[in-house]
Amino acid sequence: MKRVAATLGAVVIAIAAALGGYWFGAKGGLEQRALPATDPAITTASAVPAPSAPAGGTSASGAERKPLYYRNPMGLPDTSPVPKKDQMGMDYIPVYSGGDVEPEGAPGALRISTEKVQKLGVRTEAATRLVLERTVSAAGRVEPDERRMYTIAPKFEGYVEKLHVNVTGQPVAKGQALFEVYSPELVSAQREYAIAAAGIQSMQGAGDEVVDSMKRLTQASLARLRNWDISDEQLRALEKSGEAKRTVTFRSPVAGIVTTKKALQGMRFMPGEMLYEVTDLSSVWVIADVFEQDIGAVRAGAMASVRVSSYPDKVFRGKITYVYPTLSAATRTIPVRIGLANPGQLLKPAMFAQIELAVGSAAKTLVVPDTAVIDSGLRRIVLVDSGAGHFEPRVVRTGARTSDHIEILEGIKEGERVVVAANFLIDAESNLKAALGSLSAPQQAPASAAAALVPPGSTPAATASAIGHRAEGKVESVDPKDGTVSLAHGPVASLKWPAMTMEFQVANEALLKALRPGASVAIEFVERKPGEWVITGVQPAAQRK
């Protein structure tokens, strides 16, 4: 009886222990499953399977995270399931399921954890449409208006008898006497005219033919004097008095400044020799030297602001009247002419000036902040915020620029948010330059480095996209020891290379299996450092799509 009671007690204890263990195990499983939803450091990656819990009953929270695979530190499409080093001795970088940066979503998209976004200080703004107005600055100089410059040059030979204006820079009024000249030819022409005029009076009763002849002689003498720029006032005085004057006075044709004076008292001058130059400075030109890259936005009729150091508090405004058709090869600038009124003659010829030209279209265009564009030299990239920590790199075509905005002609749409701060940090964090070769990335970690590089004959499910440049050619020789290949390839359009034979490095030894002397192959390659070109993918030339 005692034995039966003892047996029943043992059975009850065993059942109770089993139920307790089941209850505690179920509770622990619930807590374990709830952990990923509450831990902000762990994010769900649908493209990459989560690592399983280690054996031995250790909970997932206490287990050390295991990397899914290791990626090339130089950004090449080369991965490894185990730790390794590249040819330069750099360690491959581990990639975790909850890592800071992983390929996710659209081809080439990057996923960054919320914590990392906050640490990097990522800031985004929406692409919007604005009237893109910008200002082109240029250096220039003040010059006289060529249409307001007058030269006094007698058309006959003579002598300077008397100077009325004897100083360069002296202001003169219109009609003011400048100098008097004596010329034997001029005196002779005056006498001929006076004799012809007197002859007409004395032959009033003669025949019509004789009178007409005298009139023609008088008109010829008068035309000769007028062609020598003798004023009408002097001609009327000559006709009235009938006496030839020894000297003739030359007067200023315009109100202005005597900018050139070559006449000297008593000097002899020849026909056409310039003795005075008078310039009207009530209106001047400013010739601005606009750089070649800005000239496309400059149009005649646009307003310009001019400043000179002599009057720093004054702004002179004028219109662009002409864009010259020539370019200076030395300075790579094109002259632009601006007409300015010059009241008070504050602007002096040869003054230096700073010009600001307002350019731009009145229509609204799609723009982003200038800090949003990453310019690699070959192309321009922006990072588009897709939400939930996903950032998609986009190649864009840019247009006009201002001091703080860049016009986007192609690549993004209005309203899309782009990264305007910390985009270079994201670039460095995710090795963006490697991912942007074709703007795509593998959605799954390849099983091995050889599978990622697609050796001939293999058809893996997930193939790494081409990165960098592409070429087709024939293998000349292979050096397995140095990891180099001599390839006679055709033209490379992306680098503007002609067909040539050159030496390439290979990313790893797996590629050498596809590179046999005499084989026709299609390769993908990148520039790892200046002058070092590395093959990252190989296919038979006939199989390449």
Q: What angle do CA 11, 14, 15 make, to 5 degrees?
A: 85
- Residue 143 has φ and ψ, to the nearest 5°, of -135, 150
Nearest C-alpha neighbor of 161 from the set 261, 252, 246: 246
Say what the pLDDT of residue 64 is: 60
Confidence (pLDDT) at 238: 79
Distance CA 234, CA 136 (A): 55
Give the sign of the dihedral formed by CA 33, CA 34, CA 39, CA 42: positive
3 state DSSP class of 274: coil
Per DSSP, helices labelled H in 387-524 are 423-430, 432-435, 449-452
DSSP annotation string for 488-521: EE--BTTTTB-SEEEEEEESSGGGGGG--TT-EE
How crowded is the C-beta side of 510, counted as CA atoms within 13 Å?
A: 20
What phi, psi does 166 have (nearest 5°)? Answer: -120, 15
Which pair of tokens denotes residue 228? 């020598």
pLDDT band at 6 (very low <50, low <70, confident <90, very high): very low
Contact of 221 with 193, CB cutoff 8 Å: yes
Q: Which one-letter amino acid corresponds to residue 466?
A: A
Q: In what order do the strands lie in the sheet with 93-95?
A: 79-80, 69-71, 93-95
Amino acid 151: pLDDT: 94
Three-state helix/strand/coil letters over 275-330? CEEEECCCEEEEEEEEEHHHHHHCCCCCEEEEECCCCCCCCEEEEEEEECCCCECC
Residue 196, pLDDT score? 78
| Dist CA 81 CA 70 (whole Å) | 6
- Domains in the chain and their CATH numbers? 123-135+284-421 (2.40.30.170), 146-279 (2.40.50.100), 468-543 (2.40.50.320)
Q: Mean pLDDT across the stretch 299-304? A: 88
pLDDT tens track for 355-390: 998 776 667 888 899 888 888 777 888 889 887 778
Q: Which residues contact 39 (CB under 8 A, 6 or more apart)?
A: none
Closest CA to 160 of 63, 72, 261, 264: 264
- Supply angle C-alpha 516, 519, 523, rounded to 5: 90
**CB atoms < 10 A from the CB of 495, how many?**
13
Query: Alpha helix (H) ranges present in 139-207?
Result: 184-202
DSSP 8-state assignment for residue 146: G
Q: Between 69 and 466, whose confidence is greater?
A: 69
pLDDT tens digits for range 481-515 = 888 999 999 998 888 888 889 999 888 888 888 88
Band (pLDDT 50/70/90 cuts) for residue 37 is very low
Q: What are phi and psi of 135, to 5 degrees?
A: -120, 130
CB contact set of 339 (below 8 Å; sequence gap of 6+): 145, 283, 285, 318, 319, 321
Q: What is the pLDDT of residue 446?
A: 40
| Chain length of the chain | 545
Q: Record the tokens describing residue 263, joined without a space.
A: 């006449």
pTM for the model: 0.48
pLDDT band at 74 (very low <50, low <70, confident <90, very high): low
Confirm if 306 and 355 have CB atoms less than 8 A apart. Answer: yes
- List all residues 6 or more positions away from 408 whose beta carbon is below 8 Å from its beta carbon: 127, 366, 367, 368, 382, 396, 397, 398, 399
